[in-house]
């Protein structure tokens, strides 16, 4: 298995993919803000993952493009800030090719999973948007790769990266079950975390749990 195509590593290179991802997200968001309001609706419709559009019109590209569409300034600010803080370190450790593959695989699968959940529950017109699913996977990767790293919540409270990631995941699970903050795609966040976990198991042969509880 270690010599299979699935486990075969890319030749290491670093090209600043995080900055490209942030740049694309910011440009798309700017287009929705600085042009006519019709641009917002056009982009939102064509890029957001809307189950009915996938069912009726086969808009399968939105499983990817939803990650580049954000609803408001706060939405994109926190997503891009998280991608900047955690993504740079993860990309440098993984290499740019591996990071881009990880980002898009986890984000796309999170979108597909969300579509399945929306379909089963009859939420055909919900519009899924935002990079949070992929971002949760990136945060997991950061905690797995740097388990002793200290993160300061609000710049004050020190937490080890695994504690922060597992804590955020527990909160997402709570919000998902309780129905609080129903305008937030908690299941997409959890799916990003789960697919990131599976990626480490299959692609790297690494058990994330062992890394998260380890102390160097």
CATH number at residue 175: 1.20.1540.10
Query: pTM of the full predicted structure?
Result: 0.90
Residue 169 lies in a domain: yes
When pLDDT is averaged across residues 51-76 and rounded to a whole number, the result is 94
pLDDT, the chain, mean: 88
User: By C-alpha distance, which of 203, 79, 87 is closest to 141?
Assistant: 87
Longest CA–CA separation in the chain, Å:
54
- Whether 182 shows a pLDDT value over 80: the answer reads no
Neighbour-count burial for 93-120, b at 16+ CB within 10 Å, e otherwise: bbbbbbbbebbebbbbbbbbbbbebbee
pLDDT for the residue numbered 183 = 45
pLDDT for the residue numbered 151 = 82
Residue 6 lies in a domain: no
Residue 30 lies in a domain: yes
Residue 9 lies in a domain: no
pLDDT for the residue numbered 167 = 81
| Domain coverage including residue 60 | 17-212
Query: Cα angle at 31 between 33 and 130, to 5 degrees?
Result: 85
Number of domains the chain is built from: 1
Residue 108 lies in a domain: yes
More confidently predicted of 160 and 178? 160
Helix, strand, or coil here: 39?
helix
Residue 177 lies in a domain: yes
d(CA 177, CA 26): 32
């Amino acid at each position: 298995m270690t010599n299979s195509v699935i486990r075969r590593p890319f030749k290491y290179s670093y090209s600043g993919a995080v900055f490209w991802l942030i740049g694309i997200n910011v440009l798309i968001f700017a287009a929705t803000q600085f042009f006519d309001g019709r641009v917002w609706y056009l982009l939102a419709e064509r890029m957001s993952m809307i189950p009915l559009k996938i069912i009726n019109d086969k808009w399968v590209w939105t499983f990817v493009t939803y990650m580049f569409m954000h609803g408001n300034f706060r939405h994109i600010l926190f997503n891009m800030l998280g991608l900047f803080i955690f993504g740079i370190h993860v990309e440098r450790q993984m290499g740019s090719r591996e990071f881009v593959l990880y980002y898009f695989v986890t984000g796309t699968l999170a979108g597909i999973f969300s579509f399945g959940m929306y379909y089963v529950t009859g939420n055909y017109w919900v519009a899924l948007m935002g990079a949070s699913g992929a971002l949760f996977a990136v945060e997991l990767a950061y905690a797995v790769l740097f388990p002793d790293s200290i993160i300061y919540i609000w710049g004050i409270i020190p937490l080890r990266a695994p504690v922060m990631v597992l804590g955020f995941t527990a909160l997402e699970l709570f919000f998902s079950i309780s129905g609080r903050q129903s305008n937030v795609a908690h299941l997409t966040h959890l799916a990003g975390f789960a697919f990131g976990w599976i990626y480490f198991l299959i692609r790297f042969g690494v058990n994330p749990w062992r890394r998260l509880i380890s102390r160097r």
